[in-house]
Each structure stands twice: as C-alpha cells, then as structure tokens.
Structure 1
Amino acid sequence: MKPLTFTKPLAATLLAFSHLIVAAPALAGTPVKIGTVAVVPSDATLQVSLDRADWTYAVGQAATFRVKFNLAPYPAEGVTISYRLGPDMLEGAERTAIVPEQGLSLPATALAQPGFVRLLVKATVQGKVQEGRATAAFSPQNIVPVQTEPADFDQFWQAQKRALAAVAPQFTLTPAPALSNEQVEVSYLTFQNVAQPPGGRPTRIYGVLSVPRGAGPYPAVLQVPGAGVRGYKGTPEMAANGYVTLQIGIHGIPVNLPDELYEQLNFGALESYNRYNLDNRNAYYYRRVYLGALRALDYLAQHPKWDGKNLVAQGGSQGGQLAIMASALDARVTATVASYPAYSDVTGYLHGRAGGWPGLFRQDAQGRVQDQPVDAKVTTSAYYDTVNFARRLRAPVLYYAGFNDMVTPPTSTLAVFNVITAPRELVLDPQQVHLTTPEHRATIERWLAQQVGAKP
C-alpha cells in the first residue's frame, strides 16, 4: 500500500487550486473547498468512462458506463470482454459481453444511498491483456461512517499519552553524510517508545531528520509512512525549500538496512502486522505506532531550528491515517495533509459496503466474514479508526481522494472527510487509483507554503 509516483500529463490533472477549488456547501457544518480534477479521455486501447465528465451524480440519477476499444481495423465480430459491475469493492460476479465498434453502454447499478459504483473491465486484444475501470460517485458528500465511537475514546488516548510520557525519549542522532548536501544536513534519529504490549521493555522508533543548514527558524513537517516495511532516506529536497522534516518508520527497526531484509520482513514476520492483537485495544500493533508518531512530534517541537509556530503532519495511505491521528491527538499541529487515508471506517464490510484498508471483516469467496471472532476486533478497531480521529481535527486539512482507488476505497475515505469540522480542502480525482501524481505533490507544496506563510 506504499504510495507510488507516476507520470501523467499536467493537463490530465490540472491541480492548480486557483482553477479547481470552488465553493461548496459545508459537509460537516464548516467551510470547505472542493476541487475536482478534470477527467481526460484516455488514449489507451481499452477506454472505460461515464456519461458525465466529472463522474459524479446525485442519488437517484441515472448513470451509464461506456466501454470502447481504440482499434484499427476493428474486429468484425467485436471484442469480447469480461466485466464486473457493482458497488465500490463489491462489484459482484464476472460477466461477459461483446463490444461493437461504436462501443458498449452499461447502466450503473442503482444505489439507494450515497456511495460509489465501479465497472471493472478486462479483455485480451492482440495477445495482450487490457484492463480498465471507471467509478461513478453518487452524492459522495453525504456518505456517513458506520464505525462506532467509543464513549471513552478520549480517556483511552489520554491514558496512552500518559504511558508514553512515562518513557524517557532518549533522542539519539547519527550523522548521515552520504544523504546530506551543501544545503541540508541529514541525520538518522532514534528514540524510545512505549512497550509492545504494555508492561514490557520500551521499544524504539527510527527515522531520518533533514534540516536546512541556514540559521532558521523553519516550519517542521512530520512525514509518516504508507504501509509495508522499507528503508528511508529522508526528504532533503523538501528541507532545501525551508522545512525541518522528519520521516519515520513504524516497525521499530533501523531505516538504513539492506533492502532484502525489509522484503523478508514484509512477507514474513511483519506480514499482516495491521491485524496483530486486534482483539485487545491495549496490545494492538497500532498502539505503539500511534504513540511513536506522537513522540516524533515531540522531537520536532523541541528542535532548535523549529519556528515555534508551524508543525505539520503529512502522509498518504497509512501515512494519511497516521497524519490525521497525530493531528487529532496533538494540539500543537497546525496543518494536516492526508492523501487517501487508510484505516478509514473499517467496519464498512459488516454493513454491506466497502471498508477501508486493510479490508477487515471482508467476506471471502465463500461468503464467510474474515477476522473471526469479530466482536472484540470490532471493539478495538473503533479506538484506532481514522474516522474517530478525524472528528477531532482542529487545524486546517488538505485531503485527497481518488474514485478508482481500490486500496483505500473512496466510500471509506469520503466517510472520513465528511466528519471533519476543521477548515477543509478536498481534491477529488475521479480517475486516480492508489498512486500519487507529481501534480498532486505540487499541490501539497503550494498548500503548505500558504499555511506556513512562505512564498508558493
């Protein structure tokens, strides 16, 4: 689930907020700006689209998918496709159809409530497998979460923060000259964190600190990672633009080890870490992760080059989850960047709709609910679900979601966005899958510059 970068033409995304952001009704009673990225016709062999340019409809409106092949000459018998069509992540059984030269129209599955409907298409053309998808949004601003909110949610996290405060941080820096340059000094940082589970020895968090060589002071940015196990090299390019940045790993292992080790952990000891001790809120894997991110903010807030004003939490996917959590639990955070956040409304599958990554409680091919027994796990998930932290955000938020995302499904990410009561800006990219474009990164840079008072 690591956020990736891919290249697509600037005209295909047009993420300049001055052109995209339009006033919209408040989704949760506060000012909100929504920008919808233009849907650009594909020049791919297989083209899957909808009959509205923004792929967005009101509940009850008719929507029609279009499937077309860019082939010359076109086969006289048409092109056979297999397809699945249905609600977000519940697209249903595979069916087949013939696509004539003029294309094929397929009506969207009717929804009785706000949500998303997706068409997944596959075909073999000239010996090559072609795949495409399009996703229709129906009143996405009205999607509400199904996750519960524990009555003692705030008390639980106050107690966890007290447990963190009882552990000496032991911040330790090691120079990383190979990662440094004339503008930026880079170091490896490690510090103590709470035990996992409680009652044991303290664990550690490892990360990479990038600091401008100038006198400062500078705004500080905590960069939290997408899911998986990997090494990190920091973000000296961002530090060169005038930020103190701290990029952390979450698994309590150094971030400068051989890639093979991370690969083995990813498919071995740390595979499915997001489910470890899910039946116990005090021992769940993410408890240590969440508290480690808060301690990382502690480090930035005591750094001598921090400007004392601007403290940002930023991440995508699992990083979006952690950024929202950290911002909710630390009042010092002044801005949040959350791209397609994970662990959003994760009980969705128990209510007949998509839940957020990592797909807890989803049914298997035989219709059996996974993660059994579910009761204790459902209870624990409510203390860690992004939606319950999003309700508590106070600082401005830049939020990003893609309709075609099948890792952090839009049903889940919009359920989270819709409960935010802090000032919010939302970028909706209908065609976007679970990837981050260079244009989106540029949007983040502009938005952060505005938040910290720098020149965009």
Structure 2
Amino acid sequence: MSVSSPCNRSTSVRCRSLLRVFPPAILSLVLSTLLFATDAPGVQLKIRPDRADWTYTCGEPARFVVTATMDGKPLAGADLHYSIGPEQMPVTMKNARLDEQGRLNLDAGTLERPGFLRCNVSLAYKGQNHRGLSTAAYSPEKIRPTQTEPPDFDAFWRHGLAQLREISLEPEITPFGGKASPFVDLYYVSFRTVPHLDAKSHPLESSPRVHGVLSVPKAPGRYPGALYIPGAGVSRRNGEREPDAITLQIGVHGIPVNQPDAYYKKQYTGPLKEYYLQGLDSPLQHYYRRVILGCIRALDFLASRPEYDGNNLSVIGGSQGGFLALATTALDSRVKSVVVRYPAYCDVTGYLHGRAGGWPHMFAPRPDGASNPNVTPGKISTTGYYDSVNFARRIRVPGHYSWGYNDEVCPPTSIYAAYNLISAPKDLSLVLEAGHRPTEVQLKAARLWLASQRQ
C-alpha cells in the first residue's frame, strides 16, 4: 500500500510500524518529521517517546526523552516539573533536573490495557514558563468503547427525523455583502427546524431556524454539495468558498451568523454558557438533539438547491463539528462521504472506567480526584443517545479522519473508541505531534481525498 504522503528517512520506521498495526485497506498515514531544531532561538523544550512510531503493545515499558536548549545550546542542569500517567487522568507532579547535555530520560512504566500514556513537562527559565508534552500509544487499534448503546437508539432518532419532516423548510436568502469573491456568490441563509422541547428555558429559540452562509460557484452548472459544521463555541460565520462545490457553513445555535463579536460573547456568557451540558438529564431535552436535527435540516436545504448535482453530498467538521459530522452521516443516507477531524463527544463515559473520555468531559473527575457532580444515572443514560461511538457504528460511507496523539481536548483514547467501530472504508491522516488543530499536511490530505470522492 502507498501512504498518502511520502515517508522520508526520519519517518519511514514510524510509517512501517503503523502500517503493520492498521489494516492497509483502511489506513493512509500522514506524519510530520520529528527533528530537534538545535539552532532554534529562545527556549526549545522537546519531549518524545523512545520509540520512533510512539506506539507500543500493552505491557511494554516506555521511556520519554526530554531535551531543552536555549538559543541552540543545551540548558544544562535546568530544573523542571513533570508528570506521567494515562491521558486526562489525575497525576502527581514530580521534580527532576536536566543533565549536562540538557537531556533527561524518564521511565514511564507501561499500560496493561489499550490506551495512551502522556508525559507533561514544565520548565521555568528567566521568569517564563515553558511547557511540552508527548503521548505514547498502547495498542490503539484494540481500544473499545465503554459507552453503552440504548436499545431504542434508532427509534429515538427516527422519531426526531419524523418531527423534522413535518416542518416546512421556508428558506430565507439574503446577499452576504462585503468584499465580493471572484469565483463564488455568497449568501446569508436561514430555514426552519425543530424547536427545543423546553422552549421556555431556551429563549433564543422562540423562532427556531438554522442560520448559515451559502457559497455557490459563479460558473453555471450543477455541483457537489458540502455541509461544514463548526467546532464548539459561539461566533460568526464567513462561509467556505469552493470553486467546484456549493457549500453551506452553518451555526448550530439558532442565532444569526452575521452579528458583531460582542453579540456572540454575550450569548456565550449568557444563555449559551456551557450549552453542551444543557438538558443532560433527558435525551429529549439535551441541547444537541436540536443541533443534530438542524444539521439534517441543513442537508435538506442543500439538496433543494438547483445548483446541487443530486448525488455528491459531503459533511465536514472538526471537534464538535466532527462529532456532528458523524451523527449527520449516520442518520442521513444522502451523505456520500464524510471528513472528520479529532471528533468530540467520543466515549464520554471513559472516565467512569478509569480512562479518558471525550469532550465535553462531563464525567471527568475533579483535580483532587473527587467525582464529578454530573455523574448521575440520568445524565449517563442520556449520553448514550449522543455519543459518537454509537453513530460510528452506523457509518456506511467512505470517510477521511485525522488527529494527533497530543490532543488534550479530544483525547485519542476516546477517538479510537469510535474510529475502531467504523466498518466503512476509512482513510486516516495521523500526525503524532499534533494537538487540537489540524496541520497543513492533514488539511491538504483531506482536500485531495474529498476531491477524489467527488469524481
């Protein structure tokens, strides 16, 4: 098998190892080079596992190598603090000192079950703190979810889709304004969707609509359609401009997407504060029910456009958007391909079983180890209707997926719990050092993959 980006000499070992771990039919690996820049200015703090591919089998010991320089010269004898333990779980900080070469080898122990072992390091130098981390994988292809699947999962979502179908679309379209694009026309759009079932507690939804930005190529013709779903937060939308596709970038909160920043800050600190936890005591009341059905409604709008070619429909999202892309794809057979970056809401119950759970971490223990007050039977049960792992089981179309081992927002343990359940063709773009943002090589790989799906 060929990988999606050529391996150079420094990454070839890592590529070969992961190609052994994952079946060739479902994996293409994109890796960045781990080069320690000894001539880099300022303080450079680097941490890496002692294995080139950062991947071990359960029971194997791991070691982290810490290196620090100042203007390219070793920080000999510098004091630092570090912790090693399963990612996202409570740990104890320890003290250590770099040797004369500015290096330190840390024995990390091992993991006896599949998961990820993380090393965090902080170093204070001349009044400034510097932080680094690295993460070792233990048999990630064997990670299985802790989340349960409600017996009425499918019936629950069929009921929601039936409710959605009873509501007319009634789209409103206005010019985008601002600087014109040379190859696309932009519009603000909105259309009706389901209301939140507890409208009194959600004043923003007195007139429930999905808002977004539509981009249509200027050249006449019929084009593939693409739905872009945002990550967590509350902000304006400016659209996704593609010369060869009609795209719809939506907001998920039922509010306009063309307001000043102060407007969104007010919503985020007011009625939308911790929106992702709202209604968690009941599957019917959970905030994400209306959001997911709103994503389906966005596909209705795209499919209604005369510029749509009637066949090629994709969903793209990262983090919260990755979770919603999985949900939308699982629930709507019109979707033909999906692009997912570091999905959220994956195996959120992991914390109840002594390992990392996904964002929004509603069951994570407190820093002192105390139980999270969200750990109640009702809230735990509700998450089963929304967890990405249960949507992943229902993905039936090709997908492109990407993340990194150093993601502290959407832990790789939680992501693999969902990813390993996907039986459809899947392409993985993995940059080990990446955190919670895509690298340029991953973005390029996703674009090329999506273009190949549209042919």
Q: TM-score, normalised by structure 1?
A: 0.91
Q: Structure 1 residue 135 and structure 2 residue 135: aligned?
A: yes
Q: From 215, 218, 222, give the equivalent of 1:217.
A: 222
Structure 2 residue runs of 5 or longer lacking an equivalent are: 8-14, 38-42, 201-205
Displacement after TM superposition at 1:62 (Å): 2.1
Q: From 426, 429, 433, give the equivalent of 1:427.
A: 429
Give the whole-Å Cα distance in 2 for the aligned partners of 1:188 and 1:73.
Answer: 54
Give the whole-Å Cα distance in 2 for the aligned partners of 1:397 and 1:26.
Answer: 19
Give the whole-Å Cα distance in 2 for the aligned partners of 1:146 and 1:380.
Answer: 14
Give the whole-Å Cα distance in 1 for the aligned partners of 2:233 and 2:439.
Answer: 20
Structure 1 residue runs of 5 or longer lacking an equivalent are: 1-14
1:290·1:325 contact (CA, 8 Å) conserved in 2?
yes
Displacement after TM superposition at 1:128 (Å): 2.0
Give the whole-Å Cα distance in 2 for the aligned partners of 1:150 and 1:180.
Answer: 48
Give the whole-Å Cα distance in 2 for the aligned partners of 1:75 and 1:364.
Answer: 35
Q: Give 2:79's aligned residue.
A: 80
Q: From 35, 42, 62, give the equivalent of 2:36.
A: 42
Displacement after TM superposition at 1:39 (Å): 4.0
Give the whole-Å Cα distance in 1 for the aligned partners of 2:431 and 2:361.
Answer: 22
What's the secondary structure of 2:160's corresponding residue?
helix
Q: Give 2:183's aligned residue.
A: 183
Q: Give 1:95's aligned residue.
A: 94
1:39·1:54 contact (CA, 8 Å) conserved in 2?
no
Give the whole-Å Cα distance in 2 for the aligned partners of 1:273 and 1:265.
Answer: 10
2:63·2:109 contact (CA, 8 Å) conserved in 1?
no
- Larger CA deviation: 225-234 vs 82-91: 82-91
State how many pairs are aligned. Answer: 434
Q: Structure 1 residue 382 and structure 2 residue 399: aligned?
A: no
Give the whole-Å Cα distance in 2 for the aligned partners of 1:172 and 1:333.
Answer: 24
Displacement after TM superposition at 1:179 (Å): 5.0
Give the whole-Å Cα distance in 1 for the aligned partners of 2:441 and 2:21.
Answer: 26
Give the whole-Å Cα distance in 2 for the aligned partners of 1:337 and 1:361.
Answer: 27
What's the secondary structure of 1:177's corresponding residue?
coil
In the TM superposition, 1:237-248 aligns within 5 A as 238=242, 240=243, 242-248=244-250
Give the whole-Å Cα distance in 2 for the aligned partners of 1:91 and 1:217.
Answer: 53
Q: Give 2:162's aligned residue.
A: 162
Q: Give 1:9's aligned residue.
A: none
Give the whole-Å Cα distance in 2 for the aligned partners of 1:134 and 1:167.
Answer: 49
Give the whole-Å Cα distance in 2 for the aligned partners of 1:390 and 1:73.
Answer: 48
Q: Give 2:60's aligned residue.
A: 61
Displacement after TM superposition at 1:129 (Å): 1.2
CA deviation digits over 1:229-257, x for unaligned, max 9? Answer: 00001012x2x2x0100000000100000
What's the secondary structure of 1:271's corresponding residue?
coil
Q: Structure 1 residue 153 and structure 2 residue 137: aligned?
A: no
Q: What code does the residue aligned with 1:111 have?
A: L
Give the whole-Å Cα distance in 1 for the aligned partners of 2:100 and 2:88.
Answer: 29
Q: Structure 1 residue 397 and structure 2 residue 399: aligned?
A: yes
In the TM superposition, 1:100-119 aligns within 5 A as 100-102=99-101, 103-119=103-119
CA deviation digits over 1:255-285, x for unaligned, max 9? Answer: 0000011122223321210000101100110
What's the secondary structure of 1:414's corresponding residue?
helix
Give the whole-Å Cα distance in 2 for the aligned partners of 1:161 and 1:202.
Answer: 19
2:90·2:368 contact (CA, 8 Å) conserved in 1?
no
Displacement after TM superposition at 1:197 (Å): 1.5
Q: Give 1:33's aligned residue.
A: 27
Tell me: CA distance 1:431–1:115, structure 2 relative to 1, closer, same or farther (3 Å).
Answer: same
Q: What code does the residue aligned with 2:45 have?
A: L
Tell me: CA distance 1:192–1:172, structure 2 relative to 1, closer, same or farther (3 Å).
Answer: same
Q: Structure 1 residue 304 and structure 2 residue 291: aligned?
A: no
Q: Give 1:12's aligned residue.
A: none
In the TM superposition, 1:145-294 aligns within 5 A as 145-178=145-178, 180-197=180-197, 203-236=208-241, 238=242, 240=243, 242-294=244-296
Q: Give 1:4's aligned residue.
A: none
Q: Tell me: higher relative CO, structure 1 or 2? Use CA pairs within 8 A at least 6 residues apart.
A: 1
Q: Give 1:342's aligned residue.
A: 344
Displacement after TM superposition at 1:295 (Å): 0.4
Supply the RMSD in Å over aligned alpha carbons.
Answer: 2.1
What's the secondary structure of 1:336's corresponding residue?
strand
1:16·1:443 contact (CA, 8 Å) conserved in 2?
no
What's the secondary structure of 1:122's corresponding residue?
strand
What's the secondary structure of 1:146's corresponding residue?
coil
Give the whole-Å Cα distance in 1 for the aligned partners of 2:129 and 2:252.
Answer: 37
What's the secondary structure of 1:309's corresponding residue?
strand
Displacement after TM superposition at 1:126 (Å): 2.8
Displacement after TM superposition at 1:45 (Å): 1.6
CA deviation digits over 1:186-208, x for unaligned, max 9? Answer: 00110111111168865111000
Displacement after TM superposition at 1:373 (Å): 5.1
Displacement after TM superposition at 1:369 (Å): 1.9
Q: Give 2:144's aligned residue.
A: 144
Identity of aligned residues (%): 41
What's the secondary structure of 1:411's corresponding residue?
helix
Give the whole-Å Cα distance in 1 for the aligned partners of 2:63 and 2:365.
Answer: 28
Q: TM-score, normalised by structure 2?
A: 0.91
Tell me: CA distance 1:18–1:105, structure 2 relative to 1, closer, same or farther (3 Å).
Answer: closer
Give the whole-Å Cα distance in 1 for the aligned partners of 2:178 and 2:263.
Answer: 21
Give the whole-Å Cα distance in 1 for the aligned partners of 2:134 and 2:260.
Answer: 39
Give the whole-Å Cα distance in 2 for the aligned partners of 1:75 and 1:53.
Answer: 24
Displacement after TM superposition at 1:149 (Å): 0.6
Q: Structure 1 residue 19 and structure 2 residue 6: aligned?
A: yes
